[in-house]
Structure 1
């Protein structure tokens, strides 16, 4: 195993952590359940796992006495499955499940896992583009919702109950 190949994987993981950190910082500023460190770690782990899979494919120790064939998307699927578990932990329900919060943070964790997979596969431009698009969705759309007074409809409000927790009741974790 070449040292430079391993350093490329580590560099890709660092790059993924920077991109994931930018998204995590936005979540941290909004006081969401998963913030800066969590997003960095998810992106870095995703990149490392995909990069490690590529290294294994190049390693002659794993080629004898038979050839290993690998579908790179299986690694990505495994990463996404693991992130889904973490993302589920950020989603919680208010008042008996009538109002749900944390879905956007769970989706941002999924995005940083995909960004990490992109860097692990050395698709660096794709990773930056995905990070920029994610930040645009999280910031610009949130700003425009507040600017134009777009209110989110919760299940309790849709039923006319009026008993759903308000933004003041929920604190800053109302997303």
Structure 2
């Protein structure tokens, strides 16, 4: 195996670590079950599987099959997160499961050399997660919910 290729993979893994860790940072701050380590691991693993699949064969279908299995595998991980948190019939862990799934997509993008897309995805996901703790967003959501409930039939 070419040492240059291995060095490129190492750089990809470092990028995945940073992006996955960034996504997990917000979750870690707010006491989620999954934090920096979980998100970084999902991102790194997705990158590594994708990069290896792209390198092993010239068959473009091989990479797409690996990516499809990443999506499925992370879906099972997300189901486990939701199931573990399900108490008394209420659903908990949906956001964590969804963001773990999206983090895998960021890792796949890095594995496919789509660095700008991966960065945009990670930053968008981080912003989305941080909305829950923004006062303007909470105020806006309360206003939207209150407005949705005001349906009068008086003409």
Instruction: Tell me the TM-score normalized by structure 2.
Output: 0.82
Q: Tell me, in whole angstroms, the C-alpha distance in 1 between the residues paired with 2:80 and 2:139.
A: 30
Q: Secondary structure at the match of 1:87?
A: helix
Gaps of 5+ in 1: 59-68, 154-175
Of residues 102, 117, 138 in structure 2, which corresponds to 1:146? 138
Of residues 76, 85, 93 in structure 2, which corresponds to 1:85? 76
Describe the superposition over 1:38-90 as per-residue Cα deviations: whole angstroms up to 9, x where unpaired.
Answer: 000000000000001112126xxxxxxxxxx2412211111111111221222
Corresponding residue for residue 17 of structure 1: 17
Shift of 1:149: 6.0
Corresponding residue for residue 150 of structure 2: none
Q: Tell me, in whole angstroms, the C-alpha distance in 2 between the residues paired with 1:150 and 1:28.
A: 26
Gaps of 5+ in 2: 146-155
Of residues 87, 97, 113 in structure 2, which corresponds to 1:94? 87
What is the RMSD computed on CA atoms of the aligned residues?
Answer: 1.9
Aligned residues: 140
Contact 1:10–1:48 (CA<8 Å) still a contact in 2?
Answer: no
Asked if residue 110 in structure 1 is aligned to residue 105 in structure 2, the reply is no
Instruction: Tell me the TM-score normalized by structure 1.
Output: 0.73
Higher share of residues assigned helix: 2
